[in-house]
Amino acid sequence: MTGASNIVAERVAPNSDFTDLARLVKSSGLMRRRYGYYWTKLSAVPLAFAAAIVAFIWIGDTWWQMFTAVGFAVLFTQTAMLGHDAAHRQIFRSGRWNDWISLVIGDFFVGMSYGWWQHKHTRHHANPNQLGADPDIELPVIAVTPDRAAKARTPLVRWIMSHQGAFFFPILLFEGLSLHASSVRRVFQREPVQRRPVEIAFLAVRIVGYLVLVFLVLSPGVAAAFLGVQLGLFGVYMGMAFAPNHKGMPLVPKGARLDFLRRQVLMSRNIRGNRVLDFAMGGLNYQIEHHLFPSMPRPHLRRAAPLIAAYCRERGVPYTVTGLWQSYGIVLRYINRVGLGERDPFVCPLVEQRACLTR
């Protein structure tokens, strides 16, 4: 066999591999709640937003507000990462408490619909990198699958796709605006949305109130530049935190069956780093651990990583770890190869060591 899409369909070990791992992780105390950690963060959110707004008003109508825009972009992204933790039931035992925290943080503070994100992200976790099932590989602009690239019909589109690695990071400048637009569109569509009135109210207060504040304090030109910097950097930060996790890992064909352990580990990539990187990426640099145990509190992911890596090595399951900048290089080379029309754009140890998925 010559491609990841073929080899992942082969026979794999039974689900007892994950059962044994789950037992080991639980006995190590890694699923224990971290209430002190999360209550500190939850308490810091309104204080940080209040301080940022006071500073914004105090600085007033000046181009120095571009630095404030950078601060807001970081604040919104870090807050969104906390909402991600709540949505995965990492904070409280009660699903209702986690839901409401996600609603308040996501809709009211960040301006992103929790219902929209939950609908999309749940499908991603269930089938990472699976064709026709994972919405995160069905991007509207960048082609990350060979079939999507094959649909490019005009010379201009084919040329853009063949150089799409160069456009990847610039496109992220529009991701912040896209996230807000997708959230608003979702809550007004006919598809079921739990607590729709609450989401609409929170999003309206957040988005309209934020725009009113910006244009009351700043002159139109400075306000437009402020919003451009804030939304652009918010999108880049979000994209740079999420992009290294799965892009460039093997694609799973439609209908392929994998046991849970391999489905999550083989399609995910960890980013090597220190505690500063852990904070900057909101724990998403431990993507393998997060996908195996989505409700594991963020502070435990760092401790779980060496345990899970050793477990995977014992069973011959490839466990991928790379540096941050190396991961971006992998992503860019991968999407460029997809754009050039290669049917099997990702060659990895799975292909070269055929037995790694059949043990």
Query: In degrees, to the nearest 5, what angle opens at C-alpha 260 toward C-alphas 254 and 262?
Result: 80
Pairwise CA distance, residues 210 & 291, whole Å: 34
Tokens 């209040």 belong to which residue? Answer: 50
Q: Is 277 helix (H, G, I), strand (E, B) or coil?
A: helix
Pairwise CA distance, residues 83 & 103, whole Å: 8
Token output for 345: 């754009």
271 pairs with which residues across the strands?
A: 322
Residue 253: Cβ-neighbour burial (10 angstroms; 0-12, 13-18, 19+):
middle
User: For the chain, what are the domain ranges?
Assistant: 4-357
Handedness of CA 332, 118, 259, 286 (dihedral sign): positive
Confidence at residue 211, expressed as pLDDT on a 0 to 100 scale? 97
Within the chain, which residues score under 70 in pLDDT?
1-15, 140-141, 146-154, 157-158, 339-359
Helix then strand count (H, E) for the chain reads 18, 2
pLDDT single digits (tens) 261-319: 999 999 999 999 899 999 999 999 999 999 999 999 999 999 999 999 999 999 999 99
Confidence at residue 150, expressed as pLDDT on a 0 to 100 scale? 64
Q: Smallest Cα–Cα separation from 184: which of 251, 116, 84, 271?
A: 116
